[in-house]
Amino acid sequence: MTSQYNYPEILTWLEQKAKQDYGLNFHFVEEDLSNITKLVAYFLKDEITANQFGLDLSKGILLSGPVGSGKTTLMTIMKYITQKENKFYMRTCRDVSFEFIKEGYEIIHKYSRGSYSQTDCKNYCFDDLGVESNLKYYGNECNVMAEIILSRYDLFISKKVITHITTNLSASEIETMYGNRLRSRLRAMLNLIAFDKSTQDKR
C-alpha cells in the first residue's frame, strides 16, 4: 500500500507557512528532510508512512538533537498539519520550573494530574528538557520535570494522553540526569526522532 499523501508537496507548503512565521530566509535543510517527513507523517496520522518509519501513532514524540538543530521550530510549525484531536500545547521546561518556584507543587498537578474527563487532559510538548535544574520550594528540592513526566506516563497508560518532548540530551544523558526509571517510561510513551550530533546550528 502507498500513502495517500504527496510529501514533497506538503513539505513545500509547510516551508512556505514557516517562512510566514520565521522570515523569508527560513528553509528546510536537505539532511533534515527525513526527520521532517517523519514528523509530518506522525501528525497527519498517516499509518502507512508512519509504519515505514517505525513510528507508533499511539505514542508521543521525543525530538532529540544538538543545540540549534531546529527542534523547537519544527514542533511549533506542526500546528499547521495537526488535526484537532491531536492538538498540543508548547511549554518550555524552564518556564514550567519557574512556575514551580512561584506556585509550588500545584504546578506538577497542573501538567500531570488530568481528570476523569478525557477532554480535560491536555497534550503537551515540553520544550528543551534538561535545561531546567532541580528547584527548591520552601526548602524541599524537587526535580519538577521528572515528576511531571512520570505522572504523565500514568495518564498515557490510563487515558492515552500524549506527551511530546524536545531535548539536547542523549538517552544516556537523560538517564544520568533523571534516572533509569524515567528513561524507561520515556521509551514506553515516546517515539524517538533524532538529529545527528553533527547537525549544524541553524540559528
Q: Express the helix, strand and coil content of the chain in percent, nearest 5 each.
A: 50, 15, 35
**DSSP-derived secondary structure for 39-107:** HHHHHTT-HHHHHHTT--TTSEEEEE--TTSSHHHHHHHGGGT--GGG--EEEEHHHHHHHHHHHTTHH
- What the block records as the C-alpha cell of 35 is 526527520
What gap in Å lies between CA 21 and CA 24, rounded to an integer? 9
Whether 10 is covered by a domain: the verdict is: no
Whether 12 is covered by a domain: the verdict is: no
Whether 29 is covered by a domain: the verdict is: no
B/e letters for 168-182, b = 16+ CB within 10 Å, e = fewer, are bbeeeebbebbeeeb
Q: Can you give the pLDDT at residue 68? A: 85
Per DSSP, 64 falls in state E
Rg of the chain on CA atoms, in Å: 17
Whether 15 is covered by a domain: the verdict is: no
- Angle at the Cα of 131 (from 66 to 129), degrees rounded to 5? 70
Q: Can you give the pLDDT at residue 77? A: 97
- H runs (alpha helix) in 144-195: 144-159, 171-178, 180-189
Identity (one letter) of the amino acid at 149?
I
CB contact at 8 A, 193 and 60: no
**Overall number of domains in the chain:** 1
Here the CATH number for the domain that contains residue 87 is 3.40.50.300
Whether 169 is covered by a domain: the verdict is: yes
Q: Can you give the pLDDT at residue 120? A: 58
What gap in Å lies between CA 23 and CA 16, rounded to an integer? 10
Strands 140-142, 135-137: pairing is antiparallel
Identity (one letter) of the amino acid at 70?
G
Whether 174 is covered by a domain: the verdict is: yes
Range of the domain at 83: 56-194
Spell out the per-residue pLDDT of the chain, length 203, in tens. 788 999 999 999 999 999 999 999 999 999 999 999 999 999 999 999 999 999 999 999 999 999 888 999 999 999 999 988 889 999 999 899 888 888 878 888 888 765 444 445 789 999 999 876 655 544 455 688 998 999 999 999 998 999 999 999 988 888 888 889 999 999 999 999 999 876 655 55
Whether 25 is covered by a domain: the verdict is: no
CB contact at 8 A, 143 and 134: yes
Whether 13 is covered by a domain: the verdict is: no
